[in-house]
Chain A
């Protein structure tokens, strides 16, 4: 072995590397590949004769009913689509959109509110300044406890999926639109609160410490300092979350709130797959429009702030 080889081997053995990253990668790989063995997925069964027959029948059923036994005719197709739209499609789309908007507005207010106590640099006896006097430990502990309580709350509401929140709230509140709105609002409040707290913690602190130095209170700092400094970033996140709200609002209907999902579930139950598929496409169109509006809004915010 040459001298160079020895040197290289030594250098290689000394190379900085993270065991944690290494094991994480390995574990991930094992979990991902292993899940295919553990998870009883039966790939052959999936492609079995019976299922494929089922699939062909299903695909045939997707063709609009009046067109199934005849040649394609645009007039008939449009009439069919128009009837579904007039009967339920349009109003369901409006409801879906309204649920998402109502939810994101609530989540926006809630998230902005909770992001403050979840930010470590703001929620301290002396925000954005190294403490001049050393406050009593119990006092410091209380402030810290407030941060952790808020974060725990945010993680909790965020970990429970929207659909599950809606399921639980429906039993409590009865069949109004509230369960859907609140479910979306709660989950997104958790996300926006967390993201907002990160924004606050990453804000350039000098103007804020200056405000504190001038004797501003917590509330005054929040309104005159943090609000203008972080508002644009927060809005970016708000619109980004709104996109997912539109997606979820469609689905929550399956629990019985009259958004698109309700009619999708309904037509499935009646085995009207053509209608179901049309409604699914309406939902997809709504989501795409939402994406477009949101990216336009985000682009505007980026440009002007």
Chain B
């Protein structure tokens, strides 16, 4: 096949050896994991009790509850759908409060962690103190910022929540901060990478016209990375919604709380109602970010 030769060369020839090794590594890793966890496919067949639960649960997927399934409902309880909406609202409130904090931290730390801001001017002034400080202090600053970011990221939001729960007791603010810490770290990491990877031609041109390092960074590098940064923030918002829903399992009044409660009361129809509410939220944000990206990146 003559037509295939160019891509054949580009994609197959060089990568094959490494690729083979990677596939082997992944597969043997998988086998190791299955053996280690004692994962027996036979266990996938649910126990008889499990079958009942599974059937009772999944059969309600197409008929989520519209009214409460409990026999006795206190008279002052709002209707189920209204309650689902309220829970969705709380989920959004927690998520967006957390994201607003995370964005602030992300932008600040991302700024400190990106090396482009610190890159010295190759033709900088002679024997200049600021230039010297910038050159010697910079690695310390962005190095330690990166360590901080890694620490923030490496602990899952639920574990932060557990830590805060132990440290402060149940407080809505601690749930928000629990989400905001790892999310801020992730945003900072990705932001700094996006800024560092943005083309440098503009930065050089700005520097050539005498702009200061801060100006070069803010107006030469950041605007180029901004569309990507926005898109990524939206994606993280979607993740924040999920995390905020999960926090309900720890007693906060988000969707997870009601899902767990209804599931434990065997009100599977209600579970599906809440699940679908979450689904709609996530799809909405997904669609929104997609629509925005289409307008941003032409």
Contact = CB atoms under 8 A, between A and B. Distances in A.
Interface of A: 18, 20-21, 24, 31-33, 35-36, 38-43, 45-46, 51, 54-55, 58-59, 94-95, 97-99, 101-102, 105-106, 108, 155-156, 158-161, 163-164, 167-168, 171-174, 176-178, 181, 204, 206-207, 210-211, 214, 228-229, 231-232, 235, 238, 247-248, 250-251, 254, 261, 264-265, 268, 273, 276-277, 280, 283-285, 287-288, 291, 297, 300-301, 304-305
Nearest to A213: B3
B205 interface: no
Interface string B92-109: 111011011001000000
Contacts of B30: 101-102, 105-106
B43 interface: yes
B19 to A, nearest CB: 7
Contacts, number: 223
A167 B33 contact: no
Given A39-B172, A283-B159, 18 more contacts: A31-B96, A32-B96, A35-B92, A55-B167, A95-B36, A105-B26, A161-B243, A163-B256, A164-B245, A172-B54, A178-B39, A178-B43, A204-B7, A207-B7, A228-B11, A280-B163, A284-B154, A304-B15
B39 A177 contact: yes
Contact of B37 (A54, A99, A232, A264): A99
Q: Name the prevailing secondary structure of the B interface residues.
A: helix
7 contacts: A32-B100, A55-B167, A102-B37, A167-B249, A173-B46, A207-B7, A300-B22
A276 B100 contact: no
Contacts of A102: 30, 33-34, 37, 39
Q: Which of B27, B168, B172, B256 has the most CB of A within 10 A?
A: B168
Given A33-B100, A155-B279, A177-B38, A229 B18 contact: no
Nearest to B182: A247
B246 interface: yes
A270 B53 CA distance: 32
Given A173-B44, A251-B159, A181 B37 contact: yes
Given A99-B33, A176-B43, A284-B154, A42 B171 contact: yes
